[in-house]
Amino acid sequence: MTESTKGNRFAIQTFSLSRKFGDLVAVDGIDLSIEEGELFSVLGPNGAGKTTTIKMLCCLLRPSSGTATIMGHDIQKDPIAAKQVMDVSPQETAIAEHLNAWQNLSLMGGIYGLAKEEVRKRSEELLEMMGLTKRAKDRVRKYSGGMKRRLSIVMALVSDPQVLFLDEPTLGLDPQSRRSIWERIAELKGKKTIILTTHYLEEADALADRVAIIDEGKIVALGTPPELKDSISDMQVMVVKAKNLPIDVIEGLREKYPEVKEVEDGIEIKAKEFSFDEVVDYLRLKGVVIESTYRKQITLDDVFLHLTGKELRE
Amino acid sequence: MRFMILAKRNFQEVWLDPLSIGLVIGLPVGLLLMFQPIGKLNPFFATTNLAPGLAVYAFTMLTFSSGMILARDRESALLSRLLNAPLRANDFISAYSLPYIPVAIIQIALVFGVGRLLGLEISGNAGLVFLIIFVMSIGYIGLGMILGSLLTSKQVPLVWTAVNILTIFGGAWVPLEALGGAFQSAMKALPFAHTIDAARAVMVHGVGFSDIAVDLYWVIGYTLVFFTVGTFLFRRRMVE
């Protein structure tokens, strides 16, 4: 737990939470405390253990050792009580396709034990908030991908959970739909404890109070987005745009600067110290026609790559 | 009784899908009407003789619907969303099995109701006919749970086709005696032929409980196995 968190009570606490699959340690003794009202983002490359962690917190996977609490309810000793105070919007659009939006919401509200009138009232508010009111009576199989994803989030909210898990809520959506969902999530900030897993680092950067980066089953970094960026603030990132960049030239740069990443129409070089002139001279000597060079602001992408050595979108 | 909410949705899934309703209701009634003229030429296809077989055949559609709904819910992650809800294992098992029982009763009522209009007569105890057929319907629902827990929605129809063929050749609308030999013996090792033979014996020959007790035990035994295995597999899907 860092000093930067400011709530009064923990919504989620994990205690040496671990899960093994045979000899493979998918989650390796994670200790984490998330305060009420926090929007907490979990990042990690594929196979890092984030889905396994979330599944354990959602009581869908038994821990091999350790445990966790959701609003004080132990996920192993009292999973039904833990489930009563949380809900999840899975990565896939988990909706009943033959039903309309009202019926889907009525289904979710009902199984959480809400009265019909309460479900209707909450559904009205949430459908309005997500811009789905006009199509609420249509069968959801006719919805676009973005509408289905918004409904999926509404379905997780209808039970008025104290803790909300959003698993890749904007994966595969067009930029406009993605931004629309970001705005809705931003409206929930402070009202719910939200655990957001995402492949879009800019999403975590824009929305999250705190970010945990998980790699090989362990938390390798934890803090607010500015804290994480500051942790590598002594690094500089230089971007070179050039069309003819042969691989041997890039390999030559890598001998001097370990973090050289190929980007669209160029390369990105990250290092604690380097001279712009030295890089430019080297490239010109090798016959590379440079179109532009500039210094880039550190992003969560850079932090992620620096800590894990992997691209998030592999 | 929160499971009733989910059970209601599963019931709706059967009635809101045109393909499903066509298979569940349309096909057995259609077959009954189609075979009616043939029944005047061949007594096997006479309505009274054929109705129990077609009712049992209709239950294969329950296997299809229950298997497909469960498989689709697993694939679409709706099931993992539902599993995250505060319901217990028994709630889920009830919600994914009970909605098909009224569907089975509707199927039985339709086949026998339309059959009655076409001249169907029951010589023996109608309650006994209903009992054995109804028990078998629960077995078919259990089979659906097995398929839905194990297979994808693309695989379910393939295995269901095998169940369908076994039911047809178990005497649903192909005379079992015509097959003869090892095939007939193999079919007698499955519950479908026992159900159909026993129901026919009561309807056509008016036999009593003692005459069909062995058949009934076969059907109850298989139904228990199907349902127990289906429940076990479903529970295994709940928490890994």
pLDDT confidence of A7, banded at 50, 70, 90?
very low
Phi and psi (nearest 5°) for A272? -70, -40
Does A198 map to a domain? yes
pLDDT above 60: residue A19 = yes
- Nearest-angstrom CA–CA distance, B38 and B173: 12
pLDDT above 90: residue A193 = yes
Domain boundary among A228, A249, A273: A228
pLDDT confidence of A174, banded at 50, 70, 90?
confident
Query: Which letter does DSSP use for residue B174 in this model?
Result: S
Same domain? For A14 and A31 the reply is yes
pLDDT confidence of A165, banded at 50, 70, 90?
very high
Does A161 map to a domain? yes
Q: Best of A84, A89, A98, A148 to disrupt the B interface by mutation (most B CBs within 10 Å)?
A: A98
pLDDT above 80: residue A298 = no
Task: With beta carbons under 8 A apart, name residues in chain A contacting B240.
Answer: 55, 60-62
Identify the contact set of chain A against chain B, taking CB-CB distances under 8 A: 55, 58-62, 80-81, 83-84, 86-99, 103, 106-108, 110-113, 139, 155-156, 159
Same domain? For A83 and A218 the reply is yes
Mean pLDDT for all residues in chain B: 89
Task: With beta carbons under 8 A apart, name residues in chain A contacting B2.
Answer: 110-113
A18: Cβ contacts below 8 Å, ≥ 6 apart: A25, A27, A28, A29, A30, A63, A64, A65, A66, A217
Contact: A60, B9; criterion CB under 8 Å = no
Give pLDDT, residue A312. Answer: 56
Task: With beta carbons under 8 A apart, name residues in chain A contacting B76.
Answer: 92-95, 97
Task: With beta carbons under 8 A apart, name residues in chain A contacting B83.
Answer: 60
Q: Are B175 and B197 in contact (CB under 8 A)?
A: no
Does A313 map to a domain? no
Mean of pLDDT values over A136-149: 89
Does A312 map to a domain? no
- Chain B nearest-CA distance from A97, in A, is 9
Q: Which residues pair with A40 in a beta bridge?
A: A195, A210
- Chain B nearest-CA distance from A49, in A, is 15
Contact: A94, B239; criterion CB under 8 Å = no
CATH number at residue A242: 3.30.70.980
CATH number at residue A61: 3.40.50.300
Domain count, chain A: 2
Count of beta carbons in the 10 Å neighbourhood of residue A8: 7
- Chain A nearest-CA distance from B2, in A, is 5
- Chain A nearest-CA distance from B93, in A, is 14
Same domain? For A109 and A239 the reply is no
Give pLDDT, residue A203. Answer: 86
Contact: B76, A95; criterion CB under 8 Å = yes
Residue written as tokens 């509404």? A154
Residues of the domain holding A95: 10-228
Domain boundary among A228, A247, A265: A228
Q: A83-115 pLDDT, tens per residue?
A: 999 999 888 778 888 889 999 999 999 998 899
Give pLDDT, residue A311. Answer: 63
Same domain? For A19 and A36 the reply is yes
Q: What is the ipTM for the molecules in this complex?
A: 0.73
Does A308 map to a domain? no
- In terms of CA atoms, which chain A residue is nearest residue B79? A94
Give pLDDT, residue A38. Answer: 95
The whole-model pTM stands at 0.76
- Nearest-angstrom CA–CA distance, B135 and B61: 16
Give pLDDT, residue B67. Answer: 93
Same domain? For A22 and A158 the reply is yes
Which has more confidence, A6 or B159? B159
Same domain? For A251 and A184 the reply is no
- Chain A nearest-CA distance from B65, in A, is 13
Same domain? For A121 and A263 the reply is no
Same domain? For A31 and A170 the reply is yes
The percent of residues in chain A predicted with pLDDT above 90, rounded, is 39
Give pLDDT, residue A5. Answer: 39
Contact: A107, B80; criterion CB under 8 Å = no
- Nearest-angstrom CA–CA distance, B142 and B67: 9
Mean of pLDDT values over B27-39: 89
Domain boundary among A200, A228, A256: A228
Which has more confidence, A235 or B208? B208
A86-95, A296-305, B24-33, range with the lowest pLDDT: A296-305
Same domain? For A136 and A185 the reply is yes
Domain count, chain B: 1
Q: A233-283 pLDDT, tens per residue?
A: 677 788 899 877 888 888 888 888 878 888 888 898 888 777 788 888 888
pLDDT confidence of A78, banded at 50, 70, 90?
very high
Q: Best of B72, B84, B237 to disrupt the A interface by mutation (most A CBs within 10 Å)?
A: B84
Mean of pLDDT values over A300-310: 76
Q: Listing from the earlier edge strand, what are the strands of the sheet with A266-271? A: A259-263, A266-271, A236-242, A290-296
Give pLDDT, residue A8. Answer: 52
Mean of pLDDT values over A66-74: 95
Q: Are A84 and B87 in contact (CB under 8 A)?
A: no
Same domain? For A140 and A287 the reply is no
Q: Best of B2, B5, B70 to disrupt the A interface by mutation (most A CBs within 10 Å)?
A: B5
Residues of the domain holding B53: 3-238
Same domain? For A73 and A186 the reply is yes
DSSP per-residue letters across chain A: --TT---SSEEEEEEEEEEEETTEEEEEEEEEEEETT-EEEEE--TTSSHHHHHHHHTTSS--SEEEEEETTEETTT-HHHHHHTEEEE-SS----TTSBHHHHHHHHHHHTT--HHHHHHHHHHHHHHTT-GGGTTSBGGGS-HHHHHHHHHHHHHTT--SEEEEESTTTT--HHHHHHHHHHHHHHBTTBEEEEE-S-HHHHHHH-SEEEEEETTEEEEEE-HHHHHHHTTT-EEEEEEES---HHHHHHHHHH-SEEEEETTEEEEEESS--HHHHHHHHHHTT--EEEEEEE---HHHHHHHHHSS-S--
Task: With beta carbons under 8 A apart, name residues in chain A contacting B9.
Answer: 96, 99, 103, 107
Mean of pLDDT values over A33-62: 90
- Chain A nearest-CA distance from B13, in A, is 6
Give pLDDT, residue A170. Answer: 83
Q: B40-87 pLDDT, tens per residue?
A: 888 888 888 889 999 999 999 999 999 999 998 888 888 888 888 888
Same domain? For A53 and A27 the reply is yes
Residue written as tokens 């619907």? B65
Q: B157-194 pLDDT, tens per residue?
A: 999 999 999 898 888 878 877 777 788 888 888 999 99
